[in-house]
Amino acid sequence: MSRTKALLSTLAVLAASLVGVTAASTLVAAPAHADECYSWSRTLSSGATGDDVAQLQVRVAGWAGYGVNMAIDGSYGPQTVTAVRNFQAAYGLGADGVAGAQTYAKIYELQDADCTPAHFSYAEVDGGCGQGGYSGGSVSEATVKENLKRAMWRAEALRQRMGNVPLTVTSGFRSQACDRQVGGSGTGQHTYGTAIDLVGASFCGLAQNARYNGFGGIFGPGYPGHDDHVHVDVRAGRSWSAPSCGVSRNAPERAVIEP
């Protein structure tokens, strides 16, 4: 929570206490919330459609279940119900798959003013090779930033799933020139802003757990060049390889080894 948000919350409580019970019941009926990033104005549940659903999906996509890389399509279908239910359970809320005041309050707590999740930031995923910024990639800067945001929310879910363990990004967006400079193809996932490389927990723990958090791409120990970090990305489909950890595209789901 930012300082501004904390202040607004304090003022809201103060205002409610000054005007008494009548105002308090009004707050329950229509929870007003000022969030610098995005605020929802209605309860969302199965069947709902709209941009507010898409905004919700970005933030819960890391909770849709094993191997599920859910679409951010603005349509509240079964995957969104599951993702919201798992998100609620992960944060100790009543798990009903309906996004209402409690769910939004948790999201407001987790999201920063620039819409990134609490434990990841644009500063740590912007252009590599010392370039900074979001230009020179395979898509527009705006698309790069949106993709990075989606990847970071799933990384936030992964972090929470692993017991709120601090994770560090060692590489995020790369321009095509930077990608070639570090030995990549020049058009890989990092040039789209869809990929981040992580350290901070056991690499097998990261690769195994990431299968549950909406990552279409996972590369870790045993895959060439990935013994010192785990690469995750939000590509469509499934491309998983961490042979040293039993992680592959077609391997059956099995119990996760805790980090």
Nearer to Zn ion, 102 or 131 (CB): 131
The nearest distance, CB 185 to Zn ion, in angstroms, is: 12
Q: Indicate whether 197 belongs to the interface with Zn ion (CB under 5 A).
A: yes
Region of residue 238 (phi > 0: left; psi between -120 and 50: alpha; otherwise: beta): beta
Instruction: Using CB positions, name the residue nearest to Zn ion.
Output: 231
Candidate ranges 9-17, 111-119, 143-151, 193-201; the one touching Zn ion (CB under 5 A):
193-201
Candidate ranges 54-62, 121-129, 187-195, 235-243; the one touching Zn ion (CB under 5 A):
187-195
153-187 burial by CB neighbour count: b if 16+ within 10 A, else e?
Answer: bbbbbbbbbbeebebebebbbbbbebbbeeebeee
Nearer to Zn ion, 49 or 185 (CB): 185
* Residue in 190, 226, 229, 231 annotated catalytic: 226
Q: Which of 198, 140, 154, 153 is nearest to 172 (CA)?
A: 198
Nearer to Zn ion, 117 or 193 (CB): 193
The Cα 89–Cα 110 span in angstroms is 15
The nearest distance, CB 232 to Zn ion, in angstroms, is: 8
The nearest distance, CB 125 to Zn ion, in angstroms, is: 11
Nearer to Zn ion, 45 or 244 (CB): 244
Strand pairing category for 230-233 and 217-219: antiparallel
Candidate ranges 42-50, 143-151, 202-210, 226-234; the one touching Zn ion (CB under 5 A):
226-234
Q: Indicate whether 231 belongs to the interface with Zn ion (CB under 5 A).
A: yes
Catalytic residue status for 231: no
Burial class (CB in 10 A: 0-12, 13-18, 19+), 80: buried
Q: Helices marked H in the chain — which ranges?
A: 3-19, 21-29, 51-60, 78-90, 101-110, 122-125, 141-161, 176-181, 203-210
The nearest distance, CB 249 to Zn ion, in angstroms, is: 17
The Cα 54–Cα 155 span in angstroms is 18
The nearest distance, CB 55 to Zn ion, in angstroms, is: 27
Active site amino acids: 226
Query: What is the contact surface with Zn ion in residues (CB under 5 A)?
Result: 195, 197, 231
